[in-house]
Structure 1
Amino acid sequence: MNPFYPLVANRANHRCEYCHAPELVFNFPFEVEHIVPMYRGGADAEFNLALACRSCNLRKGTRISAVDPESKTEVPLFHPRQDTWNEHFRVDIEVGTAIGRATIVCLEMNSQPQIIARQLWIRLGLFP
């Protein structure tokens, strides 16, 4: 396990810092990911680490930006250490910002399985 996991997981309240999935409902710990990948100059330090569910981590990969589907311009992805989740996303994962829209599309946060899971988590009182 990543040595930073306890710090990162506690700071994130054991939620994916991208889609806010609750770690509690999974049968394994979430992943500690580099917000800015090391090969892009990111540091292996707590300020550059985020807790991510497997789905978000795999889809984000080494990306730090994506195309906003509305403006068709490349914008940065949501950055958990610099951006505030509530400014870019709502409970239904709808949004009005370019960063939010690009992140939603890139990480497929509104895929059918994600929507079904969120609805269940809401009913269980685990989301947002």
Structure 2
Amino acid sequence: MSKTPIPAAIRRLVEERAGYRCELCLVPIDITFFPHEVDHIIAEKHQGKTEPENLALVCWRCNRHKGSDLGSFDPVTRRFCFLFNPRTQIWSEHFTLQNHEIIGTTPEGRTTASLLQLNTNQRKTERQRFMPSPET
């Protein structure tokens, strides 16, 4: 949870830039029970600043799983890896969506998908029910 309040103008900028979707799992802002949150990519406790270049729009599930983490261990290589950063990286270069499952295609993608638990049955069902299939 952010210590520094996010000004309304910055929140609007972050929402618009994200296309009103979670920048990690892609769930649209208008289908979730809990509102999406503006997250510090680098948490304030790690000296992350409250400025647009360090903020991302994320759903509450992704934000709870990420917490203040900067990285974790790649489930394939077992080596430490930083998490996907939506300000400096392109989603489609690190993930693919297959049958409503988000597949990490790089160490950052795999680490992020694993840590954020992007493919639990509940999350896949949510994507299946409310998001058009990219395969069609």
TM beyond 0.5: yes
Distance 1:80 1:34 in 2: 11
1:75 aligned residue: 81
Shift of 1:29: 3.1
Aligned position for 1:91: 97
**Would you say how many aligned residue pairs link Structure 1 and Structure 2?**
126
1:121 is displaced (CA, Å) by: 2.2
CA distance in 2, matches of 1:95, 1:126: 18
Among all aligned residue pairs of Structure 1 and Structure 2, give the percentage whose two residues are the same amino acid: 36
Cα deviations by residue, 1:81-119 (Å, 9 ceiling, x for unpaired): 011000111123113211000000100001110111111
Tell me the distance in 1 between the aligned counterparts of 2:60 and 2:126: 14
User: Could you tell me how far apart the structure 2 residues matched to 1:27 and 1:115 are?
Assistant: 16
Give the match for residue 117 of structure 1.
126
1:16 has 2:25 as partner: no
Residues 22, 127 of structure 1: 8 Å contact kept: no
What is the aligned counterpart of 1:7 among 7, 13, 16? 13
Contact in 2 for aligned 1:89/1:100 (Cα 8 Å): yes
Residues 40-88 of structure 1, C-alpha deviations (whole Å, 9 max, x = no match) = 1211101000001000001000001010000000000000101100011
Deviation at 1:126, TM superposition (A): 8.1
The RMSD of aligned alpha carbons is: 1.8
Residue 30 of structure 1, aligned match among 26, 31, 36:
36
| Local SS of the residue matching 2:42 | coil
Q: Tell me what 1:55 maps to.
A: 61
- The one-letter code matched in structure 1 to 2:6 is N
TM-score by length of 1: 0.91
Gaps of 5+ in 2: none
Gaps of 5+ in 1: none
TM-score (norm 2): 0.86
